[in-house]
């Protein structure tokens, strides 16, 4: 399969998330003290200050959430997306709390609604010229 779209930037903070997707595990960054979930943050905003990452751990999440906001893209901002138009990019409020931005698949753009329950669906892609596989996590509608 030829992948002709940009891929997310992987850095030291979010690398465990992308490694999780490779295993088809959807992870969130959770505070060991109070259980609040985040994307990578230096420390929990609700607990007393700790050394960076001192109280935080990556844990599997449900992969479920609801559509918080969305946009139907009818023009390609990158040539690689031209054959997918129109497509939906949405902000998902995960069941664990954090927001997650991704594509909505498995339904027509006109069917997407605010509050619609969704679940993560994994998409294994391989960038051209890169032997390392990469996995993205879209969402699709699910019975709520
Ligand atoms: Zn906390």
63 class by beta-carbon count within 10 Å (0-12 exposed, 13-18 middle, 19+ buried): buried
Confidence of residue 12 (pLDDT cuts 50, 70, 90): confident
Distance, CA 54 to ligand 1 centroid (Å)? 11
Between 45 and 96, the higher pLDDT residue: 96
Q: How far is CA 137 from the centre of its chain?
A: 5
In a domain, 118, yes or no: yes
pLDDT tens-digit profile of 72-121?
999 988 898 898 899 999 999 999 999 999 999 999 999 999 999 999 99
> Are the beta carbons of 21 and 122 closer than 8 angstroms?
yes
Distance, CA 141 to ligand 1 centroid (Å)? 31
Distance, CA 31 to ligand 1 centroid (Å)? 5
Distance, CA 37 to ligand 1 centroid (Å)? 8
Q: Which residues of 8-17 are buried (b: 16+ CB within 10 A; e: fewer)?
A: eeeeeeeeeb
Q: Taking the model in full, what pTM does it have?
A: 0.88
Between 9 and 88, the higher pLDDT residue: 88
Mean pLDDT of the chain: 90
- Whether residue 141 has pLDDT greater than 70: yes
> Are the beta carbons of 32 and 44 closer than 8 angstroms?
no
Residue-range definition of the domain harbouring residue 116: 62-144
Confidence of residue 48 (pLDDT cuts 50, 70, 90): confident
Q: What is the CATH number of the domain that holds 80?
A: 2.40.50
Distance, CA 47 to ligand 1 centroid (Å)? 4
The number of folded domains in the chain is: 1
In a domain, 66, yes or no: yes
């Amino acid at each position: 399969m030829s992948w002709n779209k940009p891929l997310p930037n992987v850095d030291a903070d979010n690398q465990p998330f992308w490694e999780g997707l490779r295993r088809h595990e959807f992870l969130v960054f959770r505070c060991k003290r109070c259980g609040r979930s985040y994307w990578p943050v230096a420390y929990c905003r609700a607990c007393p200050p700790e050394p960076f990452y001192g109280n935080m751990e990556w844990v599997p999440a449900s992969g479920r959430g609801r559509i918080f906001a969305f946009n139907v893209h009818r023009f390609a901002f990158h040539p690689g997306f031209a054959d997918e138009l129109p497509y939906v990019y949405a902000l998902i409020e995960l069941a664990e709390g954090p927001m997650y931005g991704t594509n909505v698949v498995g339904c027509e753009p006109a069917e997407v609604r605010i509050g619609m329950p969704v679940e993560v669906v994994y998409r294994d892609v391989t960038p051209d010229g890169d032997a390392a596989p990469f996995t993205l996590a879209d969402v699709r509608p699910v019975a709520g």
